[in-house]
Amino acid sequence: MPDAKDESIITHLEELRSTLIKCFCAVGIVLPFAFLISPKALSFIIKILVGNNNITLNYFTPMEVFILQIKLAFLIDVIICFPYISKQLWNFILPALYEKEKTIIKSMVITSSILFTLGVIFCMFTILPLLINFGMSFASNNIQAVFGISNVVSLALWLSFTFGLMFQVPLIVYFLIKWGIISYESVQSKRPYVVIGLLIIAAIITPPDIISQTMLFTPTYLLFELGLFFSKNLKIEEQNQIDELKN
């Protein structure tokens, strides 16, 4: 007969299976609706990117726009289902956590989601239009810009995702220092290495041009300094608490 430990593992696996099935069902149910609104979402993205520029985006194969709409539909599907999926996963891991751990993880998830959203918005409404304008600046009587819709939209989605990730920097810095994995003094003294590291990351995950790399590096470094600022305040508060205990 299986012992209690084996039964516990089987129960957890069944709960995980049930959670994953619910998540996949939600994704499957929402997908047709996401596909219906993907053409309007595509038009909205193009409107943001083009702005007031007289640009016509071109497609070069019969199925190119259709395939792009399918990819966008999957992305919309995941975005719409994200709150539900997060809730299901949270309910799965909730029983295994202490109250303090629940509070920390909840605050991390909420802050991370807000920072990711801000990164995407910043990229879509600020960085990408600047890149399009920069590309248009090379046009002349003898040189005309021809933009492919797949290239432009794929670049927009990739950069938006990248900016969303890079906007996590202050959160990462704050919690690394809060949990004592690294010290505030250590991070502060290694600013030059951080700058070099961020420049390398920006060069790897952005298109090979100095404009987009600089646009990614600058806000990321400012966010790093923001995380360091909050970490400094955390250290001051902890020191004040220690002083109060001593007194």
- Percent residues over pLDDT 90 in the chain: 8
What pTM was estimated for this model as a whole?
A: 0.73
Asked if 144 and 172 sit in the same domain, the reply is no
5 pLDDT band, cuts 50/70/90, is low
DSSP string, 78-145: HHHHHHHHHHHHHHHHGGGS-HHHHHHHHHHHHHHHHHHHHHHHHIIIIIHHHHHHHHHTT--SS---
Q: Residue 32: what pLDDT?
A: 92
Q: Which of 236, 215, 206, 201 is nearest to 134 (CA)?
A: 215
d(CA 119, CA 139): 30
Q: What is the mean pLDDT of residues 98-111?
A: 77
Asked if 104 and 181 sit in the same domain, the reply is no
Q: Tell me the residue range of the domain where 52 lies.
A: 1-162
185 pLDDT band, cuts 50/70/90, is confident
Q: Residue 194: what pLDDT?
A: 80
Q: What is the mean pLDDT of residues 42-62?
A: 83
36 pLDDT band, cuts 50/70/90, is very high
Asked if 155 and 35 sit in the same domain, the reply is yes
Burial degree of 179 (CB within 10 A; 0-12, 13-18, 19+): exposed
Asked if 206 and 227 sit in the same domain, the reply is yes
Asked if 31 and 149 sit in the same domain, the reply is yes
Asked if 101 and 48 sit in the same domain, the reply is yes
Residue 62: pLDDT over 80: yes
Number of domains comprising the chain: 2
End position of a domain, from candidates 105, 134, 162: 162
